[in-house]
Structure 1
């Protein structure tokens, strides 16, 4: 079986492509990854070929007209409606994405397209090749509404000579993958996923720093982090600055640190390498560049998070309550869903006082811990992610091309 994977926009999504590339290649299948130039480094030395043939989806959107540019801005700020998100994903800028992926697919001749959930062009390429396509786990599914995307997809189908579709769920005609069972889903507009158990953290080199062993355990331990998406909003080395209204990661980190400085706890704040000038944390707040997040989550009482989907899943897999301070993209929707499920709460007041108040309330609420333990148990009842290989093989073997 020949599998073409796509990975775009965010470093967090490279992990999914690498994970499935390793699983599939380990089962004897040939895998190739199509990605963007700025993500290529994540695939080097992974044992799977990757081609940086895809243009920057949102970079192209910036030159596709004011309406499209504004739609991307709304999506990045976390304020996009389903229609606005659809334009940001599948507007006029999609043509270059489709053309590049179509060319690689024509050369590679895949039997299956395993796509980044934000890569809508892969749906069209799969339809052109009459092969199945499946979206990997992603927070993008939180703002992906098949009904809103259908008009855009049909416009591109018409442009590329493909048959039009009446069913919005043609977007996920062959299903999608996730690590949460249907009752705990963060994808409200999509049908139930093929759900698998969240893979255990497996970096053999990772360990917690030795200084953590000296932290006091007579008070709650809180971890705060901003993941790998927010640092992308820093000014680029070439002088390019983020769009107006985009979140400033340094400001978020300052608010987190000052908020935890007001809380009776022991706290670790990971900056993801972002420089925060003049930061003056309280003695009980320890600010570091990086820490192995999945490992530390196994020992903390509360996770103050930006609310990226990977971080949310890691918190659930370790039964860690969450205080979610959303800033961009899917994070506001994830924060609301965390609150709805009772596994944490949204920080609606982003001031240091508001952050401290939300964290204090969640630490005092035993029902949140009980609820997130229920979520973890539900995830432990899922099949291992390794069984996805057999499911994908069966999908390809039983797929019948449309006549």
Structure 2
């Protein structure tokens, strides 16, 4: 018969990891999506162009990639608790360093550290969720990522408000102070992580899926490409939309941030509501439908112009289920090798995001210069950003195409999920 202490300990073991996952994704959403309103101010203060912004985001994605490459090994050797604590801790420290950055080089290094923390958190939360969510995996993965969408929805408006907030001395908090405040929120999930007892990897060494076997599976490479294209579209809209609206359509910072928040509101609702549908119609069918919706909506919003900007919110609804659905697919298809599968998949995805960030910055800069020479600076800026966002939409449509190929591959082998 169990004692009261044993029952309370079991409840603690079950309850705290859920808190870490949900609150972890909440602060993750804040850290990734406060950059939209901040980038124009950072660009203005340091005097850098769009290509340099694209390069900055690409280089910082390398930090994300670097973290993804070692976090899986770190987790396997020292446990998921240490990985999570290091992730939350490095993100908090990066906020302090960003606040004190007085030149672009120091800022870039501080931002790089933040992306290291983001990458570690990405892997740690994904592995933890795969271990904890053993039932209704599709729904629970989408529910956990709903918290990412929730904070992402609030992040642009909160960032914009905080940057304009006046301190007691009369000066504005600015983008540095905003990063300090928002990244300090990582202390909140740091505390339950310290007291949590996380579930261990149940697979024995003999039963674990070898990495070579995973990499030789054609389905694994389809999954990697699908995830990469979906995340490029998601992060690119989050990173470039405010800049696009302010410079191409002369929207105010508040209006642009509000539109980005609308994008993330639909993104959040997509993850809250579409998890049920994902479990009902299957992972592959969901990926085909929703990535297609995202691609079409993004391209229409870009090509039609000012009157169709609201379609970016619909794109958020379509993009939302891609990442959690792929994570659920990995958890179901590779249950004995989930740590390695997630680490490798997200690491290679990080390479794609680096390339994608650089490509978008280069596309915007190239077409801005081209159209400026032909039609003047105002048209040049608009067309440059439009071409960049068409590329983002094409990434979503390619995600649909690759999902169709994977659907056919799995159907032939009677392995659809």
TM-score of the superposition, structure 2-length normalised? 0.25
The structure showing larger relative contact order (alpha-carbon pairs under 8 Å, at least 6 residues apart) is: 2
The structure with the greater share of residues assigned to helix is 2
TM-score of the superposition, structure 1-length normalised? 0.26
